[in-house]
Amino acid sequence: MSNNKLKIGIVGAGATGIAAAWDFVNAGHEVDIYEAGAEVGGLAAGFRDEKWDWSLEKFYHHWFETDTDIKRLLQEMDLWDNVIFPRPKTSYWIDGKIYRSEISPSALFLPLSPISTARMGFWGMYLKLKENGIDLEGETAHNWMKSHMGEKAYNKFFRPLLIGKFGEAYQQVNMAWMWARVKARSLRLGIYKGGFQAALDAMAQKIAEKGARIHLKTPVTAIDWQDGFPTLTANGILQPYDRILTTTSPKLLLEMTKALHDTPYGEQVADLKSIGAICVVLALKQPLLTDGTYWLNLPATSADKRSSQFPFLALVEHTNWIDKKHYNNDVIIYCGDYVPADHLYFQMSEDELIEQFIAALPTFNPNFTKQWIRKAWVFRAPYAQPVPGINHSHKIPPLKTPVPGVYWASMSQVYPWDRGTNFAVEMGRRVANMMMEDV
């Protein structure tokens, strides 16, 4: 292994790993990517029914027009022309009715007084225009939103969303995270022609053409330091590298890297909080949301799903955003939720989960019956959403671990931004630069 040409091992073929690999191979370094799954993509990976032209994301995804890092990378790869930005309709379900949630004339008819509506609009614009919101991390979103937006607006709109997203931890999430959510949003949402899996496959092909080797269905079981080099073990074979980048969850990082145990860094990693994601995906024979809504935010009055009106937090009719012709005219519905990894939803059978979720659908369309369902899928990810508390920036482990030559870049470190492929790309390129400069 030469000091000029580095041999680099990457654990995980999601957006972070692929973006890092792009910069490595363009700098002339040798790259191996190890992916436990059968396809690249990580949480942005998709699947495709035999009847469809496009793949579909296992967990709903989109890009914002403000996502400059993924745009820059796709432009460098000559892939950006394949990205489209249709404008969908997003809404709230409030007191049995659908209200448009993005900027539109219907905002004048929200179930609030004119003063409350104006107050909410003013502070919403303040957050949108605020260039940097990290100074807000000393206060919870719960307290800030209630005091600035007013109790009526908070209880009607934001408290249900926070509960739905973070469950029992909803009062712990800091306001810098909420600022970043507002700051990044755009009215138009982007997707790659063919779906996110097509995008990630095309990106993987670009780095492979430049020499990167991608090993699918190859989980890494150990990362260590031996004979002056960082090493990783995959398929029972130990491989030395000049640098290793792992993009796994905090739990997997600690499981595979025993050298981090009983270290301050390892304790920082272990203290990071996150929750999981559940998606029940349905292919229907006819539309469910007949008003054209793509994303319907559902109110959560309790962190206990059994006490809330709905068993999930978001109803997403994907084909009210993307033409159903790409899915053989199936109407695509997501029923999505965030819950802790030890929640009952991770223990229920797929059939039980489907039955529980579809029981809520007649609320939105009384004509709905199970006969509308052509096919159903269930996807679960125990690590899907970091939970950033007060002053979270001081608690994030650095990208460089104390194990020589080993780096860790995960969605727990994109804070204050929310997890997503754009910020995964930014972090992947940042850590790649750091690894190449490190002596």
Asked if the structure places residue 256 within a domain, the reply is yes
Q: Are residues 300 and 347 in the same domain?
A: yes
Has residue 96 been placed in a domain?
no
Of the three residues 129, 162, 184, the one that is the final residue of a domain is: 184
pLDDT of residue 69 exceeding 90: yes
Answer left, alpha or beta for residue 221, where phi above 0 means left and psi between -120 and 50 means alpha: alpha
Residue 217 forms part of a structural domain: yes
The pLDDT value given to residue 14: 96
Cα 71 to the chain's mean position, in Å?
A: 17
**Over 60: is that where the pLDDT of 334 sits?**
yes
- Express as a percent the part of the chain with pLDDT over 70: 97
Which residue is associated with the tokens 């804070």? 415
Query: Over the stretch 381-429, which tens digit does the pLDDT of each residue have?
Result: 999 999 999 999 999 999 999 999 999 999 999 999 888 899 999 999 9
Decide if pLDDT at 42 tops 80. yes
**Do 417 and 380 lie in a common domain?**
no
pTM: 0.92
CB 399 within 8 A of CB 245: no
Query: Which structural domain, as residue segments, surrounds residue 314?
Result: 275-386
What pLDDT, on the 0 to 100 scale, is given for residue 206?
A: 98
**How far is residue 164's CA from residue 56's CA, in Å, rounded to a whole number?**
24
Does 78 share its domain with 200?
yes
**Same structural domain, 62 and 125:** no
pLDDT of residue 418: 83
In a domain, 91, yes or no: no
* pLDDT for the residue numbered 109: 52
pLDDT the model gives residue 4:
82
pLDDT above 90: percentage of residues in the chain: 79
Residues near 33 by beta carbon (within 8 Å), at least 6 away in sequence: 10, 12, 13, 17, 18, 21, 207, 212, 213, 214, 215
Asked if the structure places residue 109 within a domain, the reply is: yes
Residue pair 23/433 in contact (Cβ under 8 Å)? The answer is: yes
At which of 129, 152, 184 does a domain end? 184
pLDDT at 106 over 50: no
339 part of a folded domain: yes
**What is the pLDDT at residue 316?**
97
pLDDT at residue 95 tops 90? no
Q: State the CB neighbour count (10 A cutoff) for residue 386.
A: 23
**pLDDT band (50, 70, 90) for residue 114:** confident
What letter represents residue 219's amino acid?
P
User: What pLDDT score does 108 carry?
Assistant: 45
What pLDDT is recorded for position 1?
A: 47
Residue 118 has pLDDT above 60, yes or no: yes
Which residue type, as a one-letter code, is found at position 247? Answer: T
Q: Do 121 and 255 sit in the same domain of this protein?
A: no
The least confident of 7-11, 24-28, 434-438 is: 434-438
Tell me, yes or no, whether 375 and 402 share the same domain: no
| pLDDT score for 369 | 97
Looking at residue 301, which CATH number applies to its domain?
Answer: 3.90.660.20
pLDDT-derived band of residue 2, with 50, 70 and 90 as boundaries? very low
- Would you state the pLDDT for residue 105? 47
Q: Which two tokens stand for residue 23?
A: 């910069």
Q: Per the domain annotation, does 1 fall within a domain?
A: no
Length, in residues, of the chain: 439
Q: What is the pLDDT of residues 166-204, one digit of tens each?
A: 888 899 999 999 999 888 888 899 999 999 999 999 999
| In a shared domain, residues 368 and 292 | yes
Are residues 23 and 80 both part of a single domain?
A: yes
Whether 297 is covered by a domain: the verdict is yes
State pLDDT tens for residues 78-91.
999 999 999 999 99
Local confidence band at 103 (pLDDT 50, 70, 90 cut-offs): low
**Last-in-domain residue among 386, 411, 426:** 386
pLDDT at 299: 85
Alpha carbon distances (Å) from 345 to 155, 162, 372: 26, 19, 24
- Whether the predicted pLDDT of 302 surpasses 80: no
Q: Are residues 233 and 133 in the same domain?
A: no
Please tell me the distance from the alpha carbon of residue 67 to that of residue 88, in angstroms, as a whole number. Answer: 17
DSSP β-bridge partners for residue 279: 336, 379
Nearest-10 Cα torsion for 424, 426, 428, 431: -130
CATH of the domain at 253: 3.50.50.60
The number of folded domains in the chain is 3
Q: What is the pLDDT of residue 309?
A: 85
Same domain, 368 and 415: no
- Kindly report the average pLDDT of the chain as a whole number: 92
Q: Which of 146-155, 301-310, 376-385 has the lowest mean pLDDT?
A: 301-310
Q: What is the mean predicted confidence (pLDDT) over 112-140?
A: 89
- Residues 213-265 pLDDT 10s: 999 999 999 999 998 999 999 999 999 999 999 999 999 999 999 999 999 99
Q: Is there a single domain that holds both residue 379 and residue 284?
A: yes
Does residue 265 sit in the same domain as residue 215? Answer: yes
Give the whole-angstrom CA distance, residue 122 versus residue 140.
19
Specify the amino acid at residue 272: L
